[in-house]
Amino acid sequence: MSSRRAKENRKEALKEAPPAQPRGGFLRWLPLLLALAVAAFAFLPALNGGFLTWDDDWNFLTNTAYRGLGPRQLRWMFTTFLGGPYQPITWLTFGLDYKLWGMEAYGYHLVNLLLHTLNAGLFYAVTLRLLRLGRPEAHEKHLRWGAAFAAIVFAAHPLRVESVAWITERRDVLSGAFYLASALFYLKAAGPEPGGLRGRRLAFSLCFYAAALLSKAIGVAFAFVLLALDVYPLKRLDLSPKTWLTPGARGVLKEKLPYLALGAAAGAVGYFGQWQASAMLPLAQFGPAQRLAQSAYGLAFYLWKTLLPVGLLPIYEAPDNFNPAALPFLASGAAVLALAAVIYALRRRLPALLTAAAVYLAFLAPVMGIVKMGVHFAADRYSYLACTGWAALAGAALACMLGAGGMTRELARIAAVLLAFVLVGMTRAQSALWRSSEVLWSYVVPRAPGSALAANNLGDVLFKQGRYDEAAAFYRKALDLRPDYAFISYNLANALTKQKNWAQAERQYLDALRLAPDFTVAHGNYGNLLTDLGRYNEAGEQYRAALKNAPGDPDMHYGLGDTFLHRGRLVEAQAAYEEALRLNPDIGGAAANLALALYRQKKWGQAERWFLEALRLKPELAAVRDNYGNLLLDLGRYNEALARYQEALQLEPRAETYNNIGAAMLRQGRAADAIPYFEQALSMKPEMAMARKSLAVARAHKDDKLKP
């Protein structure tokens, strides 16, 4: 009897003993290293990309406020809502980028890639801990390979391309690192053996969460992710919420209060930022039925694209005539409800499925469309963290099949390798599309013929290349799709201005301002057009309207100064130029025109100082050298004046410059030398009366001898 009991005890001990674990060394770390290598390799093509005409232009190319880490830049980073989001830590990394790389896009892309590779490692660590909690009896080697596979499915999936290859979306990969670190420390704190480090680990988790929210507030519902983890695999809470009122469960719930508070605060700040950026759509414009339809469509969309990542685009634009009862939305709603029913039915047999669904919902909740922001219907970048739960399930499935042994193990290995190769190939191909604005939008426009934004963005690319006719054609296409978009009318007006189609350009500026009366740059560019047309009073009105909305805009003060200068109101012109240069000391044109205004007031010393400053800022401007030469001529410094005129002539051969050289030579008594310059001026501008009169004088005195 005792012998039988001893044998049974030995069997029980063998059953309860954990499986043999792999020895330390390289093989132990091989799964992690492989996951990191695959993640990095998949996105190497992104390093060849530049700044895109898709937020990168106004975030980096025209925005000097982020460039550096001085007090002025830091103040801006922690107070700006540029584009809508509040993301000071993300801006800090961009400021560091500028210190390291200047405006070389390669460095910015490299940081994105390194952060994403780090996230692959963090997700490996999170998944490994989840698998150990969910399958404590499994072999450690199988769990590690399962975690590595999950990391590869997450990091090498084509849906990640937008977040990694687009510099502006640094906030995805940066916040992703903080969210994953927060989850990892929470799992360590809430695990079965936290020891005396529990409080410290929770504090680390909360700090990382705060940093994540300050990078991108996509995780305002992160507390519900932690609650889902408490249910499974931590098993600190029962599946039934009815049991969560017990003393033990209440302690678990109280842990989430700081996360809820931080999430609520970040949500309020984010809402304010989007409202300030005019990105929020009111209920009257986008009703409850439309919001529900978009939410259902989004939930189905990201799942479908996870399973079949083809046809990925940087923009999925909501149609102008949105019908929530259309088949795609009804089908999406039905699919989501059916999947929810399946997950609920399997909640006890497969609780991991419920946790993955909770992660999915929590990270998509802010961008599903219940709170409607912008015209996007969906965006690949929104899936960055939302789909981590599904990737973890893929890793768990592989770990289970590896543990099954036999043919199942071999088939699982083959399938995992094949899937990894397919994902990497698709991701590399997708990354290559983001290498330039022209490649990206030329790819998108024919595949999204109903997207006004895509057509507009391709127009922007062509406009910057000086291909104004082609740009105007795409702006017109965009305007046909969305005639209510003020910025498209504005862009078309700019292209028409370049084509010297003044009348149509004016109509488009007026349309843009009718749709958006506070459109500052539209007022400014319309003012520029009116100035070019000689309608200085009207131009001044446009600049003043712009300054009501943006009193600190130096370009508007500069434009207003030009209207005063043309009307001979020199004191007012001087004041406007001085204000423009106070706000931005690097506007060479304003410095040149301030010098001209001072010169015409006979303030010779001040004028010369500003001419020299203008030449420092804009050495390529021939007109500045011409005007400075005129000042020197009036001061009797003829040789210096001639030197400035000759420099101007080398930069740009203009009739005015030839005339000025002739005038300087006449004053020196060199009438014969002056004649060819006046003749050249008249050959270029036969209507130049001053040159004709001076030529007559020079011919009359060509035989005069120079006075000693």
pLDDT at 11: 43
What phi-psi label fits residue 24: left (phi over 0), alpha (psi between -120 and 50 degrees) or beta? beta
Same domain, yes or no, for 341 and 456?
no
Digit-coded pLDDT (tens) for 479-524 = 999 999 999 999 999 999 999 999 999 999 999 999 999 999 999 9
| Alpha helices (H) in 214-350, listed in sequence order | 222-231, 247-254, 257-276, 288-307, 327-345
Same domain, yes or no, for 422 and 482?
no
Ranking 81-85, 118-122, 156-160 by mean pLDDT, the lowest is 81-85
Give every CB contact of residue 663 below 8 A, 6+ residues apart in sequence.
633, 674, 694
Indicate if the pLDDT at residue 239 is higher than 60. Answer: yes
5 occurs within a structural domain: no
Supply the DSSP symbol for 52: -
Digit-coded pLDDT (tens) for 418-457 = 999 999 999 999 999 999 999 999 999 999 999 999 999 9
3 occurs within a structural domain: no
Same domain, yes or no, for 380 and 525?
no
CATH number reported for the structural domain that contains residue 678 in this entry: 1.25.40.10
pLDDT at 708: 41
Higher pLDDT among residues 372 and 470, named by residue: 470
Q: State the residue for tokens 């997950």.
A: 343
| Alpha helices (H) in 346-387, listed in sequence order | 351-364, 383-386
CA distances to 35, 148, 149, 395, 634 from 145, rounded to whole Å, are: 9, 5, 6, 8, 84
Q: Name residue 334's amino acid.
A: A
Indicate if the pLDDT at residue 58 is higher than 70. Answer: yes
Same domain, yes or no, for 511 and 393?
no
Q: Tokens for 409, please give them.
A: 């193990």
End of a domain among 370, 398, 432? 432
Q: Name residue 23's amino acid.
A: R
Give every CB contact of residue 128 below 8 A, 6+ residues apart in sequence.
143, 144, 147
End of a domain among 397, 432, 467? 432
Q: Sorting pLDDT into bands at 50, 70 and 90, what band is 24?
A: low
d(CA 369, CA 243): 33
Please confirm whether the linkage preceding 233 is cis (ω < 30° from 0).
Answer: yes
Supply the DSSP symbol for 242: G
Same domain, yes or no, for 544 and 398?
no
Same domain, yes or no, for 428 and 484?
no
339 occurs within a structural domain: yes
Q: At 227, is the secondary structure helix, strand, or coil? A: helix
427 occurs within a structural domain: yes
Q: At 425, is the secondary structure helix, strand, or coil? A: helix
153 occurs within a structural domain: yes
Indicate if the pLDDT at residue 1 is higher than 50. Answer: no
pLDDT at 372: 80
Mean pLDDT of 382-399: 97
Digit-coded pLDDT (tens) for 562-572 = 999 999 999 99
Q: Name residue 426's amino acid.
A: M
Q: At 668, is the secondary structure helix, strand, or coil? A: coil
Same domain, yes or no, for 502 and 354?
no
Same domain, yes or no, for 258 and 352?
yes
Q: 542 is in which domain, residue-wise?
A: 452-700
Give the chain's mean pLDDT: 92
Indicate if the pLDDT at residue 159 is higher than 60. Answer: yes
pLDDT at 192: 81
pLDDT at 335: 96
Asked if 45 contacts 112 with a C-beta cutoff of 8 angstroms, the reply is no
d(CA 514, CA 57): 26
Closest CA to 43 of 119, 94, 95, 127: 119
Q: At 376, is the secondary structure helix, strand, or coil? A: strand
Same domain, yes or no, for 125 and 202?
yes
Domain count, the chain: 2
Indicate if the pLDDT at residue 13 is higher than 50. Answer: no
1 occurs within a structural domain: no
d(CA 293, CA 280): 17
Same domain, yes or no, for 384 and 456?
no
Mean pLDDT of 673-694: 92
End of a domain among 400, 432, 464? 432
Indicate if the pLDDT at residue 541 is higher than 70. Answer: yes
88 occurs within a structural domain: yes
